[in-house]
Amino acid sequence: MYYNDIEIVDVDSGILDISSDMYNLTEDGGLKISWVGEQAINAQEGEVLFYLTVRSDFDIQNNAFTVNNEVFNSEMYTDNLDVLNINLDRQALNLENRLYQNAPNPFNGVTSLEFEFVEKSDASLTIYDPSGKVVKVYRNTYDKGLNRVMVNANDLNGNGIYYYQLNSEYFSSTKKMILIK
């Protein structure tokens, strides 16, 4: 979902266990979340309820996101049903090194491996088969911000599960992808 050059990529759990049936990405770029649990969650001030992952080719301004009451009241409740306000922590908008899930996944022709760096970095992106054998290595100096490596199925060893690992001087992350020809 894109809105004003910002793509909402994912919603991840913080202290709330968020599943895909608890949120909706709206056509106008909004995100609606309604969490209900069988048991109350004890949230302390400063604890993160959930994480919103976004992607943009441009700098994201601190006013790009807001909490509003247009459809639901933006609130949570204490054990005594006292109403508490929900605040948006804009500090979380800082870019951090991150490896994204490939797309599409599974794939059968070409897939895109995307990642972000906080600064220009020398890095390697290595693809392994399930036995740990190196199948393909991409080495480059990647720019600050969003980077993309396109992987062609013909460069891999046929159907199955593969792992891809991004390594730079200060960052390492691994994800799994599936090739179906």
> Per mean pLDDT, which range of 49-58, 61-70, 121-130 is the poorest?
61-70
Burial class (CB in 10 A: 0-12, 13-18, 19+), 47: exposed
| Confidence check: pLDDT of 32 > 70 | yes
DSSP string, 63-78: GG-----SSS--EEE-
For residue 140, what are the β-bridge partners? 123
What length is written for the chain? 181
CB of 64 closer than 8 Å to CB of 6: yes
Q: Residue 125 has what pLDDT? A: 96
Instruction: For the chain, give the mean pLDDT.
Output: 79
pLDDT per residue as tens digits for the range 78-123: 677 777 766 655 444 445 788 999 999 999 999 999 998 888 999 9
What does the pLDDT average to over 35-42?
73
Which of 5-19, 55-69, 107-121 is modeled with the greatest confidence?
Answer: 107-121
| Separation between Cα atoms, residue 75 and residue 156, nearest integer Å | 49
Domain architecture of the chain: domains with CATH: 2-93 (no CATH), 98-179 (2.60.40.1930)
Using 50, 70 and 90 to split pLDDT, how confident is the model at 3?
very low
Residues with Cβ within 8 Å of 168's Cβ and at least 6 positions away in sequence, in order, are 97, 117, 121, 122, 123, 124, 142
Cis? peptide before 130, omega within 30° of 0:
no
CB of 149 closer than 8 Å to CB of 141: no
Q: Residue 22 has what pLDDT? A: 76
CB of 33 closer than 8 Å to CB of 22: yes
What percentage of the chain has pLDDT greater than the value 70?
Answer: 71
| Confidence check: pLDDT of 141 > 90 | yes
Q: With residue 149 as reference, give the H or E element that holds it.
A: strand 145-152
